[in-house]
Amino acid sequence: MCSCSCDNNIDLSQLEPVLATYADVPGSLITILQKAQDIYGYLPNEALWHIAERTGIKPAKVLGVATFYTQFRFKPVGKHLIMLCRGTACHVNGADGIFEAISDELGIGDGDTTDDGLFSLKNVACLGCCSLSPVMMIDDDTYGQLTPKKAREILSEIREKDQAEV
């Protein structure tokens, strides 16, 4: 066992097909990390150490790459991941007010997940949708030209839809 703070309930065997394909391919670390995050929903410590061990890449480099890119997460996220753009165009057009509305509506801050596990909120530098600013993505859906009221309505609709499915 490693000397890290591990997520002991992680099934590393799920990572084996990825490592069998990419462990010996130079330059494939980002691909491996992306696929690991697809499997677990985030990058557990134990998976990072296992990736380092299997690829022969130093753990510091694996962690360095994973922490450099904002696409990677280090704790589980809710069923719906809200990515709120905080880039220049969004900032100028009211992203701070959108953040306050989301934070108030859900009772969470940046990087947090609601107690019911339904939503996680992540501020991001840019979503590349400047003409729609301010903008957020929830899962694979993009919502633009937001107002605080519109953001709250979107969250309520998603919550109601999820409750109806139960």
pTM for this predicted structure: 0.70
For each of the domains in the chain, give its residue range(s) and CATH number, in order of start. 12-68 (no CATH), 80-165 (3.40.30.10)
Q: Which amino acid is at 94?
A: G
Distances (CA, A) of 74 to 35, 40, 67: 14, 10, 9
CB 109 within 8 A of CB 121: yes
Proportion of the chain above pLDDT 70, given as a percent: 95
pLDDT band for position 7 (50/70/90)? low
Residue 121 DSSP one-character state? E
Give the SS3 label for residue 32. helix
Q: Has residue 154 got a pLDDT over 50?
A: yes
